[in-house]
Amino acid sequence: MTKTLAFVLYPGITPLDLVGPLQVLSALAQMDPSFEVVVVGRDLSPLGTDTPLKVTPSHTFDQVADPFALLVPGGTEPTLAALADESLLDWIRQAARTAEVVGSVCTGSLLLGAAGLLEGRKATTHWGVRDLLAKFGATPVAERWVQDGPVLTAAGVSAGIDMALHLVERLAGEQTARMVQLFIEYDPQPPLGGIDWRSVDLDSFKPHARAMVEAALADHPALLARLTT
């Protein structure tokens, strides 16, 4: 039986949240035809992102009712606004009921939280809004990715690639995961070196994060109050 790995698309996502793990899992599907990768949206219209790039779903929500894996990318203010999109949250809830893997990248985990899927679980997200996970009953952790039961959440943007390689190892074994890593030539060597998290002033971002939340949810006072009080 074909196992469907479904990425959720909605307006305003950060493209790398989607495309990074999508490329990893598409490589898995090329190596193992028992997997298929789809990108699902409300309809097949092209959707804007937080870059000039537009992205088009391959399938609609109605066409993919029970995926084997569900993965939700994140973004900035549009993702926060999507926390009030009940039709999107309803599909995520429905798909998660039977999915063996429920995953997210960056602020996509907040959508999992808003759908009620993180209660009592450890989870991560972009460092700038990690504290918001607690508003949905999750335990925030400062990790590149974290697995708690069927739920697999990744930190910001590029962390989705790491999470997806872990998922490939889980689904198809270490050798296949190493082949995928080699195939996409994932060998990070940033020109300025790695991030020294001990020197990062995380608190300086909090006013900006709060402003984004307030702007995104200005028309949803109850949800806004939940996230800011």
- For the annotated catalytic residues, the residue numbers are 106
Query: C-alpha angle with apex 138: 213 to 40, nearest 5 degrees?
Result: 70
Q: At what angle do helices 159-172 and 15-31 cross, to 10 degrees?
A: 20
How far is it, in rounded angstroms, from Cα 228 to Cα 206?
Answer: 11
E strands present in 32-81:
35-41, 47-48, 54-55, 59-60, 69-72
CB atoms within 10 A of CB 166: 18
Cβ contact 106:160 at 8 Å: yes
Q: Are 130 and 154 in contact (CB under 8 A)?
A: no
List the one residue out of 203, 121, 108 whose CA is nearest residue 154: 108
DSSP secondary structure letter of residue 41: E
What is the number of other CB atoms lying within 10 angstroms of the CB of residue 136? 23
Q: Among residues 91, 103, 94, which one has the least CA distance to residue 57?
A: 91
